[in-house]
Structures are given as structure tokens and as C-alpha cells.
């Protein structure tokens, strides 16, 4: 299985998306590239919906637009992420599984990340990777716990979860974050880049 590394930019965006809409499901796509070693770097994330997340037309359009954006940056759509409405729900199916499956049609090593509501305030990595086994996607269970030492899933730096938490709590950066749903209400919102809420070193 490939190795996956989640960059600061991608992790912060997932985190901000979930933090901005605590009572809704949110979802989006992961952009990345394959390194010469074969490892996959998840470089960025593009947030899609926080409203009517089970309905497909805006999701379809958003996916298409995000794909074009990825291409323009020399990146590929390498995966999907979501946070469920309920804090104790970390399932991918049914909507997420469908979208992840579709992304896998375009990129065979596609991965899905589900945000772990219980861990979001803990300062630990708050995402659960899902990988496909045939048409069904399951939470990754390898020899080493995901995002721990030795795991094929890594964060680009160990302090990311803690940093994400303090950026939300102390600077409320997540309030400057906008997804495709927000953009459709106000097209001056930069949902593809979201540079306004990224710290200068990210």
C-alpha cells in the first residue's frame, strides 16, 4: 500500500471546515501528487458543501471545478474528506462512499478521510483514513495506528493537530474559511484557495 502524507494546508482546511459548521456534515476533496518514491502527498484540500450534503447537483459541479483547479496547479484529485453531523458518527457510507468510489475511478490510490468528532478538541490527529476493499470502504487498520509512528499515514508535522486547535480557539481563523456552498451565495469568496485563513508559513 502507498504511503500518504497530509500537509499542514490540507489538515488545517479540513479542520477549519468542520469547526466552522459544528452542527452540519461537511465535505470536500483532497488534492495531491505522487512523489518519485511512490508516496502520495496530500498537498491541499478544497471544501465543497455544508448544506444538503446528500444532494448531488452542486456536489457534481463543485467536484468538476475542483478538478479543473487541481489540474491548473499541477495536482490531482487524490481523495475525499467529510465530517459527519453527529460527533460519534465516523462512517463514510452512503454518500461519502459513492463520491470516494467515483474519485477512485479517476485515481486508483484515492483515499478518504473522515474527521473524528471525539478527537477534534484533543490535540491529537482527528482524522480516520478509509481505504477501499472492493466496492466497500473501511477504516484503515494497519500494524501501526494511523498518524502514529511507523504508520503509512502521516501528518507533515506532529504539532499540526495542536496548532489547528489553537488557530481555531485563539484566532478564530475558521471564521474566514469559505466552501463552495458559501461561494454560491457570494462569489467573491475564494473557496478554491482560502488564502485568507492560512497562516503565512503554510
Task: Give residues in contact with other proteins (CB under 8 A).
Answer: 23, 52, 54-58, 60-61, 64-65, 68-69, 72, 86, 94-95, 183-185, 187-193
- Is 110 or 168 the residue whose CB approaches other proteins more closely? 168
Q: How far is the CB of 159 from other proteins (least distance, A)?
A: 26
Q: How far is the CB of 191 from other proteins (least distance, A)?
A: 7
Smallest gap from Cβ 148 to other proteins, in A, equals 29
Of the pair 68, 138, the CB lying nearest other proteins is at: 68
**Closer residue to other proteins in complex, CB, 39/65:** 65
Rounded to 5 degrees, what are φ and ψ at 75?
Answer: -120, 170
The residue to which cell 444538503 is assigned: 52
Task: Please report how close the Cβ of residue 188 comes to other proteins at its closest, in angstroms.
Answer: 4
Q: Which is nearer to other proteins, 151 or 174 (CB)?
A: 174
Amino acid at each position: 500500500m502507498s504511503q500518504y502524507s497530509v500537509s499542514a494546508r490540507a489538515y488545517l482546511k479540513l479542520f477549519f471546515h468542520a469547526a466552522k459548521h459544528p452542527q452540519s456534515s461537511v465535505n470536500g476533496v483532497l488534492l495531491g501528487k505522487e512523489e518519485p518514491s511512490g508516496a502520495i502527498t496530500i498537498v491541499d484540500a478544497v471544501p465543497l458543501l455544508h448544506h444538503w450534503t446528500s444532494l448531488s447537483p452542486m456536489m457534481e459541479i463543485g467536484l468538476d471545478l475542483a478538478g479543473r483547479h487541481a489540474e491548473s496547479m499541477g495536482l490531482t484529485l487524490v481523495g475525499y474528506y467529510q465530517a459527519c453531523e453527529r460527533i460519534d458518527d465516523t462512517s463514510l457510507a452512503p454518500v461519502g462512499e459513492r463520491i470516494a468510489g467515483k474519485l477512485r475511478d479517476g485515481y486508483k490510490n484515492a483515499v478518504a478521510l473522515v474527521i473524528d468528532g471525539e478527537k477534534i478538541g484533543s490535540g491529537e490527529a482527528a482524522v480516520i483514513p478509509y481505504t477501499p476493499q472492493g466496492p466497500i470502504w473501511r477504516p484503515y487498520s494497519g500494524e501501526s495506528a494511523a498518524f502514529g509512528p511507523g504508520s503509512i499515514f502521516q501528518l507533515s508535522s506532529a504539532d499540526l493537530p495542536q496548532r489547528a486547535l489553537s488557530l481555531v480557539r485563539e484566532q478564530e481563523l475558521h471564521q474566514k474559511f469559505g466552501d463552495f456552498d458559501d461561494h454560491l451565495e457570494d462569489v467573491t469568496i475564494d473557496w478554491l484557495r482560502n488564502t485568507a485563513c492560512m497562516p503565512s508559513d503554510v
